Amino acid sequence: MNHIGIYLTNAINKNEIIDSIFSNTLLQNYIDLSQLHGELHSTITIDKIIDEEYRHDKFPVVTNENTSLVSMSSGQQRKALLAYLLNQHPDFILLDDIVSNIDAPTQQTIINDLEDHAATILYIQLFYRKQDILPCIQTVITVDNQGFILSHQPMAQFLKISECEHQIGNITLPDLFDDDHLSIDPLIQLNSVSVDYLERPVLDKISWTIRPGEFWQLKGPVGSGKSTILSMIIGDNPKAYGQDMILFGRKKGSGETIWDIKRHIGYFYPKMTLLFTHNDTVENMLISGLVDSLGLYSEPNDWQRQVARAWMQVLGDSFRNKRFNELSSGQQRILLVVRALVKQPPLLILDEPTAGLDEHNAQLFISLITTIAAQHKIAVIYVSHRSEPNLKPDNIIELIPAANGSTATVTQNK
User: 135, 161, 187: which is the final residue of a domain?
Assistant: 161
Is the pLDDT assigned to residue 206 strictly greater than 90?
yes
Q: What percent of the chain has pLDDT over 70?
A: 93
Pairing of strands 200-210, 188-197: antiparallel
Which residue from 391, 388, 352, 396 is spatially nearest to 371, judged by alpha carbons? 391
Kindly state whether residues 23 and 143 are assigned to the same domain. yes
Q: How confident is the model at residue 72 (pLDDT cuts 50, 70, 90)?
A: confident
Q: How confident is the model at residue 160 (pLDDT cuts 50, 70, 90)?
A: confident
Distances (CA, A) of 85 to 16, 53, 72, 79, 407: 22, 17, 17, 10, 36
Tell me the residue range of the domain where 289 lies: 179-412
Spatial distance between the Cα atoms of 339 and 287, rounded to a whole number of angstroms? 8
Kindly state whether residues 289 and 405 are assigned to the same domain. yes
Question: Looking at the domain assignment, is residue 174 inside a domain?
Answer: no
Q: How confident is the model at residue 37 (pLDDT cuts 50, 70, 90)?
A: very high
Which pLDDT score is estimated for 169?
61
Which residue from 388, 414, 339, 408 is spatially nearest to 132, judged by alpha carbons? 388
Q: In total, how many domains does the chain have?
A: 2
Answer whether 364's CB lies under 8 Å from 337's CB.
Answer: no
Answer whether 372's CB lies under 8 Å from 378's CB.
Answer: yes
Question: Looking at the domain assignment, is residue 206 inside a domain?
Answer: yes
Kindly state whether residues 44 and 187 are assigned to the same domain. no
Kindly state whether residues 359 and 226 are assigned to the same domain. yes
3-class SS letters over the chain: CCCEEEECCCCCCHHHHHHHHHCCCCCCCCCCCCCCCEEEECHHHHHHHHHHHHHHCCCCCECCCCCEHHHCCHHHHHHHHHHHHHCCCCCEEEEECCCCCCCHHHHHHHHHHHHHCCCCCEEEEEECCHHHCCCCCCEEEEECCCCCEEEEEEHHHHHCCCCHHHCCCCCCCCCCCCHHHHHCCCCEEEEEEEEEECCEEEEEEEEEEECCCCEEEEECCCCCCHHHHHHHHHCCCHHHCCCCEEECCEECCCCCCHHHHHCCEEEECHHHHHHCCCCCEHHHHHHHHHHCCCCCCCCCCHHHHHHHHHHHHHHCHHHCCCEHHHCCHHHHHHHHHHHHHCCCCCEEEEECCCCCCCHHHHHHHHHHHHHHHHHCCCEEEEECCCCCCCCCCCEEEEEECCCCCEEEEEEECC
Kindly state whether residues 139 and 190 are assigned to the same domain. no
Which pLDDT score is estimated for 21?
97
pLDDT in tens, 312-322: 888 888 888 89
Kindly state whether residues 143 and 267 are assigned to the same domain. no
Kindly state whether residues 96 and 193 are assigned to the same domain. no
pLDDT in tens, 256-297: 788 888 889 999 988 788 787 778 899 999 998 888 887 777
Angle of CA points 287, 282, 319, to nearest 5°: 135
Kindly state whether residues 322 and 188 are assigned to the same domain. yes
CATH assignment at residue 336:
3.40.50.300
Question: Looking at the domain assignment, is residue 171 inside a domain?
Answer: no
Which pLDDT score is estimated for 179?
61
Which pLDDT score is estimated for 5?
97
Distances (CA, A) of 344 to 217, 393, 409: 19, 19, 29
pTM of the model: 0.85
Kindly state whether residues 341 and 273 are assigned to the same domain. yes
Question: Looking at the domain assignment, is residue 262 inside a domain?
Answer: yes
Question: Looking at the domain assignment, is residue 166 inside a domain?
Answer: no
Is the pLDDT assigned to residue 63 strictly greater than 70?
no
Question: Looking at the domain assignment, is residue 169 inside a domain?
Answer: no
Question: Looking at the domain assignment, is residue 397 inside a domain?
Answer: yes
Kindly state whether residues 121 and 199 are assigned to the same domain. no
Answer whether 96's CB lies under 8 Å from 18's CB.
Answer: yes
Spatial distance between the Cα atoms of 93 and 101, rounded to a whole number of angstroms? 20
Mean pLDDT of 159-184: 66
Is the pLDDT assigned to residue 401 strictly greater than 80?
yes
pLDDT in tens, 91-147: 999 999 999 878 888 899 999 999 999 999 999 999 999 989 999 999 999 999 888
Question: Looking at the domain assignment, is residue 172 inside a domain?
Answer: no
Which pLDDT score is estimated for 391?
86
What is the edge-to-edge ordering of all strands in the sheet holding 407-412?
265-268, 347-351, 379-383, 215-219, 395-400, 407-412
